[in-house]
Amino acid sequence: MIKFITKRLLIAIPTLLIIIAFGFIMMRVAPGGPFTNERALPPEIERNIQEAYNLNKPLYEQFFIYIKNLSVGDFGPSFKYKDFTVNELIISGLPVSATLGLSSIIISLFLGSFLGIIAAVKRNTYFDYSVMSVSLVGICVPSFVMAPILSLFFGLYLGILPTSGWNGGSILNLILPITALSLPQIAVISRMMRASTIEVLNSNFIRTARSKGLKSSYIIRKHVIRASILPIIEYLAPASAGLMTGSIIVEQIFGLPGIGRYFVVGALQRDYTLVSGVMILYASLLIILILITDILRAYLDPRVKI
């Protein structure tokens, strides 16, 4: 296991380098710059600013300087948030984004799995048809569309939930953004879990368990869930990526001070270091999540060898 984890982490290094290089080049190729929208500056002041941030150097030199700073954990200063480094902005926004992301993943996993199992056990009933119909709608409506709808209905029409703000992590302020992020993933996971559970219920080892007189509840609890959840474990990594990228827009819609909001503002204002820092953080999290899902799958399925 240690050898497998070490190998995967070593593979992650060139992957991260490619992502860093891609983001670095794309941000600088895009029209404009971090100081384009500033009021007209005297040429000497503009030269001093360019020199202070190493923007007057050739692109390859800027890249090597950036990699050198990254090697010691320094993401550099933010070009737009004065007197703040990217490290400080990420640290301040990480609790908000982590709360939204982890809550959405947990809710999506448990609620989607539960609905999928019940729909499979009660297949071809009204409950099954209802769950699958609602889940189809959830798949078709992305989180950035669901967020304004929920905000409009529960915030403006009914007035029972706040439509923006963090408020120190208040539960009321978290309900709408977490719901907007979770609903599409609940829909996907419930359909996947239903299909997987039906396949497991029709397998030979479940027929053998029934022939031995075991109760249906025991079979589902001890055998069906463990076997049918394997595709969901594999889906966790891309689902987490979807939640992370979805949270970028959702945080902006609900005015939450998370990393996603910094990413949007940084991209619009060409804050090179801020955008690159958020990209590296998301890529690292995704690589770690993929590694965790591989380990979980090997643990749950004895046929899988590390």
pLDDT 10s digits, 3-54: 777 887 888 888 888 988 988 888 888 777 777 665 566 777 777 877 777 8
pLDDT in tens, 157-179: 888 999 888 888 889 999 999 99
Nearest to 241 by CA among 196, 281, 208: 281
In a domain, 252, yes or no: yes
Is the distance from CB of 47 to CB of 56 less than 8 angstroms? Answer: yes
- Domain of 186: which CATH number? 1.10.3720.10
Which long-range contacts link 36-40 to residues 24+ away (Cβ below 8 Å)? Answer: 36/270, 37/269
Strand partners, 85: 77
CA–CA distances in Å: residue 201 to residues 111, 208, 228, 272, 298: 20, 11, 9, 52, 21
Which residues, other chains included, contact 262 with Cβ-Cβ below 8 Å and sequence gap of 6+? 81, 89, 90, 93, 274, 278
Quote the Cα angle for 187-190-191, to 5°.
90
| Number of domains present in the structure of the chain | 1
Tokens of 225: 């869930």
In a domain, 118, yes or no: yes
pLDDT in tens, 78-108: 888 878 899 999 898 888 888 888 899 899 9
In a domain, 253, yes or no: yes
Tokens of 54: 């190493």
Nearest to 49 by CA among 39, 31, 27, 266: 39
CB environment 53-62: b (16+ within 10 A), e (fewer): bebeeeeeeb
Q: Which domain holds residue 208?
A: 96-259
3-state helix, strand and coil shares in percent for the chain, rounded to the nearest 5:
75, 0, 25
In a domain, 180, yes or no: yes
In a domain, 158, yes or no: yes
In a domain, 234, yes or no: yes
CB environment 115-136: b (16+ within 10 A), e (fewer): bbbbbbbeeeeeebeebbeebe
In a domain, 224, yes or no: yes
Alpha carbons 182 and 267: distance in angstroms, whole number: 25
Alpha carbons 224 and 118: distance in angstroms, whole number: 12
Tokens of 281: 């953080």
In a domain, 29, yes or no: no
What percent of the chain lies above the pLDDT cut of 90?
13
pLDDT in tens, 236-293: 877 777 676 667 888 888 988 888 888 888 888 888 888 888 888 888 888 888 888 8
